[in-house]
Structure 1
């Protein structure tokens, strides 16, 4: 049994992670602002993680083997966490995102379109940090989501002394899980991206796509919860880790998977300023390599294994009859 703190964990794969940790016999504490109660047997601390004094008071003398941070979006939040959990945990796992590799939001080394990007493309040990930016403003944070995640990783990496290769120099070991686009779960998939395709294809409405969309990678929400469980309780790596199922897809393949269950041929229209591209239509390289996670012992599914079920859930949620 390990003592594990989950910051967030009130919805989607975070909620499933908490359930799995508890079912595995771990002593689990959930920290959130009261947005959702954890399952029975899980300690619940209701506090705003952005309020450092309140967070310290709520934690009291508690210490943990592992902290899993589901809701760290800015370097300011990361800096607070680094101070509060220094000396309280031996390991800190942050849920990050594929968005850190978005070349539209940062000057990154170009990657050939047929080469999945590796973790080394964004090294948090060397990424610049600016705590003075208006991270507290919702509009700024929304438009700088990827940069917020990059800088949050950078702050925790330096606080822990964990470089790109995962070497622990002091403090806790820090690991960031860079998740692919998450699908599955029907109504639990709160972004509504797969539901977008379910509605449009079933209604015979066109899907707006780029002229030559490039593939991206996905992961099922239950598989991501399992990987986070593994990263928290079994693995001992440090540094960034890409998390994606095998089998990249472009927007045409994703739309075809929906169309196959509706019996309707998909329709497309060019993406324009008036008709912005649908989710997952990318004209830039957007696929990750999961080789590092595999080398550490995690076995990924193939997207084709779970996508039909995820599509069926989205169609059922939208009350769309299937073929």
Structure 2
């Protein structure tokens, strides 16, 4: 199959490209070129700023793909441009969405908790919306206007040794240095998934006959208190936790006021088997601690 990956040079996007190559597909990556090309001649690379609609259309005008993976769409304007450009050029789009489409209200989230098909579209670019609202608007646009099948994959926080956002690393570094971490609710539970499993589910969503929104998360959830405990155990250091913090530098990127995690029952019913969170998280924490010690 011919596959286009928009944003495929780092983290789970890179893992996705590797998986596509391992399965013998012809792969094109489209990026701004800022992260180079780790795949060399194994892929065709298109260097384009997707915000430039004319340049994007020109780059994609002479090709077609069986599957397009869009890892870097954040707003309805971007989604609309891609729908127009890809009309007649792809058999399927897999869009990377997020847990942030759901409200933080302490309830376990299933796909029905945000219905993009009935959501009112407000056009705009990524600067016009919060991260979560931009993804909601993009989902709504894709599902209402795309002329090809679409899957929106809603990920929780993606973890891995090479996470460029450094969110787990933030907690490990501050604990190792004895610096405070501010959390609004240390008992709040969250969902997580590894970069490898995220890539595996994106690939599954592409090659499987599924459409619509799907949650993709490791099975299980963990409180911030217990996650901090794993770091303390691996590092031998005691965390300094503040439940009220005015210093923005100490605020946890995992900090949420209430439980915020999702069910993966729909995706598992479609045939994908997820890992158990508690099977891999302690080892990942130990690895990151060793990296930073």
Which TM-score tier does this pair reach, normalised by the shorter chain? over 0.9
Cα distance, 1:38 vs structure 2: 4.7
1:313 positional shift: 2.9
Distance 1:19 1:95 in 2: 17
In 1, Cα distance between equivalents of 2:235 and 2:247:
27
Are residues 1:96 and 2:69 paired? Answer: no
1:250 aligns with 2:223: yes
Q: Does residue 3 of structure 2 align to residue 17 of structure 1?
A: no
- Give, in whole Å, the separation in 2 of the partners of 1:33 and 1:283: 36
Task: Report whether the alignment pairs 1:3 with 2:12.
Answer: no
Equivalents in 1 of 2:252, 2:138: separation in Å? 28
| Match in the other structure for 1:272 | 245
CA RMSD of aligned residues (A): 1.7
8 Å Cα contact 1:34-1:46 kept in structure 2: yes
Q: CA deviation at 1:53?
A: 2.2
Alignment of 1:151 with 2:137, yes or no, is yes
* Farther-moved stretch of structure 1 (50-59 vs 7-16): 50-59
Match of 1:125, SS? helix
2:201 corresponds in structure 1 to 227
Instruction: Give secondary structure in 2 for the equivalent of 1:64.
Output: coil
Is the partner of 1:67 in helix, strand or coil?
Answer: strand
Q: Is the 8 A contact 1:250 1:280 kept in 2?
A: no
Measure, in 2, the Cα distance between the counterparts of 1:239 and 1:16.
23
Q: Unpaired segments of 5 or more residues in structure 2?
A: none
Residue of structure 1 aligned with 2:287, choices 305, 310, 313 = 313
What secondary structure is seen at the aligned counterpart in 2 of 1:299?
A: coil
Q: 1:271–1:277: 8 Å Cα contact kept in structure 2? A: no
Alpha-carbon offset, residue 211 of structure 1: 4.6
The whole-number CA distance in structure 2 between the counterparts of 1:244 and 1:50 is 29
Q: Deviations over 1:23-42 (max 9, x none)?
A: 11001111112122151321
